Amino acid sequence: MKAWLMQTKVEVLRIFRNPYFVFWSLFMPIVFYFVFTNIFNTGMGDSWNSRFLMSITCFSVMGTSILTLGIRLVEEKAHGWSNFMRTTPLSSSVYFSAKMVGQTMIHICSVIIIFVVGAVINGVSLSVWQWLTSALWILIGALPFLAIGTIIGAMNKVETAAGISNFFYMVLAFMGGLFMPIEVLPSIFKTIAKAIPSYHYGAGVWEITEGGTPSLLNIAVLTGYFLLFVVLSIYIRRKQEVVV
C-alpha cells in the first residue's frame, strides 16, 4: 500500500514535470480551442462552442493516453528501468495499477483545466450534471486509448514509438471528427469515422452536451476496441517474453 501510494504520486509528478505533456496535452488543445472558436469565426454559435470544447478535451486526454503513456513505457524499457524494477519487490500489478491511476489523475486535471478555459473564454454553459457526465465519459472512454498506449509501450525504440504514436494520434483525432465535424467532410470520411474509436469517443460526449446520452453503439464500439487492444497488448508482451 505504501509502495502503491508512493508510486502513484511519483507517476503524477513525473507527468506534470514533463514539458511535452504540458505542451501537447494542455497548452496545444487550449490554443486549438481558442483559435478554432474565436479567430476563425465559424458562426456556429454556442452549441458549436460546447461541442468543440468536448472534442478538444477528448483530443487532450487521448493524447496523454497514447503518447505520454506509450512513450514513457518505451523509455522505461530502453533505459533499463523496467528490468531494474523487476529486481525490486515492487510487483508489476502495483506498478501497472499505479501508472493507470496516475494517468487518470492527470486526465482529471486536463479535463478540469480545459473545461474551465472553455467556460471562462467562451462562456460555455452546461448544467452541472452535463459537466460531470461529460467528464466521466471522457475519463472512462479513454480506456481503449490507454490500451493503445500499452501497445505502443511494447516497442523497443523511443523514436519509432514517438513517430508511430503521433501518427496514429493525429489520424484518430482528424478522422474521428475531433477537429471538425465529419458532417462537413465527404461521405467517405463519415464511413471511416464510424469504424474508429475516436469518433465514438467524441460522439458520446457530444450527445451529452446536446442534452442526450451516449448511444449503446458508442459504448459497444469503445468496449470492443478496448478488449481488442488489451488482448493485442498482452499477446505482444507474451511473445516478447519468450525471446528472453
Partner 1 sequence: METIIATNHLSKRYKNLWAVNDVSFEVNKGELLAVLGKNGAGKSTTLLMLLGLVKPTLGNILILNKQPQERAVKEKIGVMLQEVSVIDALSVKEVLLMFSSYYENPLRLEEVLEITGIPIEMLKKRAYKLSGGQKRRLNFALAILSNPQIVFLDEPTVGMDSTVRKKFWQAIQFLNDEGKTVIFTTHYLQEADDVAKRIMLFNQGKVIADGSPLQLKSHLSDGAISFTSDQVDINLLQTFSHVISAKITNQRIVLTTTSTDALLGELFEKKVVMRDIHLHRARLEDAFESLTVEGGSVNESLVDANESRSITDI
Comparison of 85 and 113: residue with beta carbon closer to partner 1? 85
Three cell numbers, residue 123: 462562456
Dihedral (CA of 179, 182, 183, 185) sign: positive
Nearest distance in Å: CB 241, partner 1:
9
Least distance CB 232 / partner 1 (angstroms) = 24
DSSP SS3 for 122: coil
Q: Report whether 199 contacts 193 (CB < 8 A).
A: yes
Decide whether 15 or 205 has the Cβ nearer to partner 1. Answer: 15
Task: State the nearest-atom distance from the C-beta of 72 to partner 1, in Å.
Answer: 9
Q: What is the DSSP string of 38-72?
A: IIS----HHHHHHHHHHHHHHHHHHHIIIIIHHHH
Residue 53's contacts (CB-CB under 8 Å, 6 or more residues apart) are: 33, 114, 115, 118, 122, 124, 209
Residue among 97 and 223 whose Cβ is closer to partner 1: 97
Least Cβ distance, residue 179 to partner 1 (angstroms): 30
Site for partner 1, rule CB under 8 A: 2-3, 5-7, 10, 13-14, 17-18, 75-76, 79-81, 83-84, 86-91, 244
> What is the number of other CB atoms lying within 10 angstroms of the CB of residue 118?
25
* Shortest distance in whole angstroms from residue 94 CB to partner 1: 9
Q: Is 170 helix (H, G, I), strand (E, B) or coil?
A: helix
Nearer to partner 1, 79 or 190 (CB): 79
Nearer to partner 1, 93 or 187 (CB): 93
Find out whether 130 and 50 touch, Cβ atoms under 8 Å. Answer: no
**Burial status of residue 43 (CB atoms within 10 A of its CB: 0-12, 13-18, 19 or more):** exposed
Helices 143-152 and 69-78: crossing angle, nearest 10°? 30
Q: Output 79 or 237, the one with its CB closest to partner 1.
A: 79
CB 212 → partner 1: shortest distance, Å? 41
Tell me how far apart the alpha carbons of residues 43 and 173 are, in angstroms, rounded to a whole number.
23
Cβ 153 to partner 1, closest distance in Å? 15
Which of 67, 178 has the CB closer to partner 1?
67
